[in-house]
Chain A
Amino acid sequence: MTILPGSDLQVPSDWELLKDSFATAVELRPVERAEFLRGLPIRAAMIEKLAILINDFEEANSFFSELTSEIRSLTVEQPLVQPGETLDGRFRVRRFLARGGMGEVYEVQDLELGGNLALKVMAPGLAAHPQSLLRFREEIRLARAVNSSNVCRVFDVARHVDSNHDFLFFTMELLEGETLADRLFRLGQLPLDQVRSIARQMIAGLAAAHRCGILHRDFKSSNVMLCRDKLEERVVLTDFGLSRRMEATEFEDMLDGGTPMYAAPEQLAGKGETPASDIFSVGVVLYEMTTGRLPAITQSNTIGAGRVDEQVTPPRQFRPDLPPSWDAAILRCIAADPELRYTSVDELGRALDSSSRPSFSRRALWLAAVASVVPAALVWRGRERQASQARANPSIAVLPFSGAPEVRFMADGIVDRLTDVLGQLPGLRVISCSAPERLALETISATQAGLRLNAAYTLSGRVQAQGTQLRIHIELVKTSSSAAAWSNTYDIQQDQLVSIPDSVIRGIIPALALDVEPARISAVSTEQTANQQAYQLYLLGRFLAAKRDLPSLRESVVYFQRCVAIDPHFAAAFAASGFSYYQIALKDPPTAEENLTRARSATDTALAIRSDCADAYLVRAAIRQYSDWDWTGAEESYKQAIRVNPSLAAAHHWYARLLYPQRRFAEALREIQAASVLDPLDESPRIASGMILSYSGQNDRAIHEFRLLQAEDPGNGNLYVPLSCALEAGGRYGEALAAAARGVDVTGRSSFALSQMGHICALTGRDQEARSFLDELEKQYQTGVASASEVASVYMGWKDVENSFQWLERGLKTRDAMLTLMTVDTQFDFLRSDQRFRVLLSHVYPRGI
């Protein structure tokens, strides 16, 4: 017999007595109850308790019926904000979309930039932490680096405070469709064709994020959106890296039916997240898609207890038509030991890809590509191809070396040289980080940078100086393990700097397991001058040129000149000066002609001394393309530049600019994607790919890309004119006008923005404004800042055939770059039937296209 703690009742007899008496008493009227209680043959203490129970009954009954109805209406929670409310003075709520993850999602209108976005309100309470906003900002800054149509764009995080609310929210791309979780819920399991398409895109999205050093941390089927799109269903991953930052994850887990099911064992054990833990979660989602169930849970009573991977039933047992290689791949993803899983998402992608038979849709894509119609999905396909081709070779990124300001030029110079030299080694892919973007890498670890740049290895270093004595520490780190694969410290005199690249290359080649002939190593790594002074001047020149602004570029050529005065056989110095001259010509149109001449002669000299100067080929190609309109010669030179240094991002980017005016869109996109992979932090390839999409007739997609870029970096001056052109080509004149106006502002009234602005004004009947822009442009033309074809563009807005041709013909004399776009730009359309147009075209493209 048990005595209950705090109770003077004996169980069960007293208890049964109490129950029976209660049942009788509760049926009686109040007056009868007192009598009944008095007559009970039980102890006084019991009677007291019984009295309380009976007395409580009505209240208890109403308490439980109220609570029951409350439970039944658990979801009748009003959304936090109502349609029509404006959040943070900028986002007007259009409608409530869903309640999920860490908060509520609304469709909102952006009153500042226009367009509709999704807005996610985060759990209240977060707003109270001053650190939250900063931390989210940082997350979002990182997340923005992810450039993939399979990853939901996140724009900004902000706080909304009014008399009723105080919460944080973030804005993101508006997606229409259903989550994978909901589809699986509806259909159980999915047809294999659908599984393939979803898997492929899911993996592409995740790979793009990992490349940027961003982990999902909470990958699951409810974070995969399936969106209706024209060509094929677009799969978009949401809540990247953010969800785990939310403190209300327990709540979210509840809503999502038990997220721990998707988490890797090491994650559940609190040992932190790695790319491998994301791969585990992908494996679970693949399992779920193919079998309609999650990998078996243990049979213990503990709900959601850890899985033991040896006991997981192979998905093929539930899905006999699943290819065996998929079966194996899924099981490998969900191995309990992270070491046994795939080492990267790309590797998983290849494993799945190689085993899926080419489906009809894939072949259709390639046919479409051959037909020069660039399908929407080709952007992705190209990226994947690039990634898998490139993955065959080990990749390495040379990170900025740290050092005090006075040794900065040496540190940067060594980095540039190492990047050059490594790029020429066969079998190695070298990721560069163009100088202005390098800053972003200086505050993060080598491993993070490696992930962000999608490089298997990183080379980083530190330069310290004491008088003329230098200490340089250089380290090769393997991204997947964060382990140093090679390192060395050089204590040298400043004049021994020239020996560093050769020594580093010889040191790391074994660590990278590269098979390179010794002769080849010497050929690329031995510096081209033995003169210490010349070498230091050269490093200084490169340091300045990398800053890319006009004064620095001008100063850099002074150093290169001194270099070659000391050592007239220093080919790299000639090539570098050619590159600087070319940049000056682009940035300062009035001096373009003389500087192009200098660039031409410097590159010719460089290539006469040595035939392996990639920079020199690149400048030669650009001059042939834009100054000589020698398209065949230019193409040959671009290819030579790429042959010498396949990792030279600029060569791929510039080559794309030769391809798309010739309507070779698919090739152009491939080159642009190569440039993106090799220089992931540079945004200019994204603008170029938008232009290619627009010129190939995919305006909506182009506009979408541009808008995303705009949301990320509204101050980007190179963005608005292409955006305006795409909007114009799509017949969206109002927006085109707004974009051009913004371009004029952002670029400080540059000629190319003024030209588009005047053009749009003329096109839409704003004659007076168009005329004033025309005046401004003509003045710029007088001083050599604006080109003749930029002036012509305004007349083309008026469809003024005579003046258009007059100015275009002037442009022919100065070889305006804009003329090369006659083949693809729709603003020329009304001139195409004119004989004079054909004459113009035959000048620009002497061999046709």
Chain B
Amino acid sequence: MDSDVRLAPITELLIKVKAGDRKAEAELAPLVYKELRALAAYYMRRERPNHTLQPTALMHEAYLRLMGQDQIDWTSRTHFFAVAANMMRRILVDYARARRAAKRGSGGPQVSLTDAMDLTLDPSWEKIIDVDEALLRLTEIDERQARVVELRFFAGLEVDEVADVLGISSRTVKRDWQFAQSWLYGQLGAAYRKAKPPNAPRSGANTKSP
């Protein structure tokens, strides 16, 4: 009975989301965010250092927890993922930002040698933040493609799952994903490039534009 009280609103919201209710989606988002964050925190606190924070697994678990045990509806799940992917992205980016802030301490000239080492050893946080920023620009140009990246990259969904969530063909997802990777990579700037491309354009200054 307790769990009914706790979970009912989620089911209701998901039904509305399924019916295309944007307001319901906005209401659902914070709940999903909270659940995902709690899950992530729970796993990160664990003693088992080899437990990984797999975004897809987290989203599945969040879904099961929020829905309760007897109400699993796999079509709702798709809509749930559509909302959850964006939240997962926020979590990862917030986490990366917090992590970067923590590593920098109070920053500036007082960063110790070990901090500096840590930062160079642990660059994925920077990458996540940069990808997120590039993705914001992609959203302005091509929202669907950005959604594909969100689901594929931040939420870790397979191509078919992404197609399911967005209601487009797998082929389109694959094409979007391929193009977006190249485009985003081009946006990231020289720091992440392994080597200069063989037939580099004459002007090296335009790596920031498409």
Contact = CB atoms under 8 A, between A and B. Distances in A.
A360 interface: no
A19 B6 contact: no
Determine the interface band of chain B, counting residues with CB < 8 A from chain A. 35 or more
Interface string A241-280: 0000001101101111110000000000000000000000
A555 to B, nearest CB: 54
B2 A292 contact: yes
Contact of A22 (B26, B94, B105, B182): B182
Given A53-B183, A57-B178, A126-B105, A72 B156 contact: yes
Interface stretch (A74-82, A392-400, A420-428, A635-643): A74-82
Interface stretch (A3-11, A569-577, A623-631): A3-11
B190 interface: no
B110 to A, nearest CB: 5
B6 A188 contact: yes
Contacts of A71: 53, 55, 92, 124, 128, 156
Contacts of B101: 248, 250-251
A51 B118 contact: no
Given A22-B179, A301-B26, A128 B111 contact: yes
B126 to A, nearest CB: 11
B2 A125 contact: no
Contact of B49 (A68, A96, A250): A96
Interface string A411-437: 000000000000000000000000000
A123 B102 contact: yes
A75 B112 contact: no
A255 B105 contact: no
Contact of B142 (A15, A96, A182): A15
A125 B99 CA distance: 13
A99 interface: yes
B70 interface: no
A250 B98 contact: yes
B37 interface: yes
A185 B182 contact: no
Interface in B109-165: 110-115, 118, 124, 127-128, 131, 140-142, 153, 156
Contact of B102 (A67, A77, A96, A250): A250
B197 interface: yes
B197 A56 contact: yes
Interface stretch (A58-66, A481-489, A508-516, A601-609): A58-66
Interface string B28-60: 011001100110111111110111111100000
A18 interface: yes
Interface in A359-407: none
Nearest to B2: A189
Interface string B167-210: 00000000110110111111000001110011101000001111
Nearest to B185: A60
A4 B49 contact: no
Interface residues of A, number: 82
A185 B42 contact: yes
A254 to B, nearest CB: 4
A56 B44 contact: no
A164 B52 CA distance: 26
A193 interface: no
B21 interface: no
Contacts of A318: 5-6
Contacts of A731: none
Given A125-B115, A185-B42, A67 B47 contact: no
A185 B37 CA distance: 12
B182 A57 contact: yes
A314 interface: no
A73 B127 contact: no
Interface string A76-113: 11110000000000000000111110000000000000
A844 to B, nearest CB: 55
B90 interface: yes
B193 to A, nearest CB: 7
Nearest to A317: B5
A26 interface: yes
Interface string A114-131: 000000000111111100
A248 B5 CA distance: 37
Given A48-B201, A96-B49, A251 B178 contact: no
A165 interface: yes
A318 B2 CA distance: 8
Nearest to A100: B45
B3 interface: yes
A55 interface: yes
Contact of B94 (A67, A247, A254, A256): A254
Interface in B82-103: 90, 92, 94-95, 97-99, 101-103
Given A11-B141, A75-B52, A26 B178 contact: yes
A26 B180 CA distance: 12
B18 interface: no
Most buried by A among B50, B90, B185: B185
Given A250-B102, A258-B34, A15 B141 contact: yes
A48 B111 CA distance: 42
B104 interface: yes
Nearest to B37: A257
A649 B44 CA distance: 48
Contacts of A182: 42, 45
Contacts of B69: none
Contact of A165 (B114, B127, B193, B201): B114
A52 B182 CA distance: 9
B71 interface: no
Nearest to B100: A251
A60 B181 contact: yes
A580 to B, nearest CB: 55
B27 interface: yes
Given A49-B210, A68-B153, A127-B112, A19 B179 contact: yes
A543 to B, nearest CB: 48
Contacts of B209: 6-8, 49
A74 B53 contact: yes
Nearest to A22: B179
B142 A59 contact: no
Contact of B106 (A72, A247, A292): A247
Contacts of B141: 4, 11-12, 15
A791 to B, nearest CB: 53
| Those 7 A-B pairs whose CB atoms lie nearest each other, nearest first | A125-B105, A60-B185, A251-B102, A248-B102, A254-B98, A70-B124, A257-B38
27 contacts: A4-B210, A15-B141, A51-B201, A59-B185, A64-B185, A67-B124, A67-B128, A67-B153, A68-B153, A73-B52, A74-B95, A74-B124, A75-B46, A75-B51, A75-B52, A78-B49, A125-B105, A125-B106, A125-B111, A129-B110, A189-B2, A254-B99, A255-B45, A256-B41, A257-B40, A258-B34, A301-B30
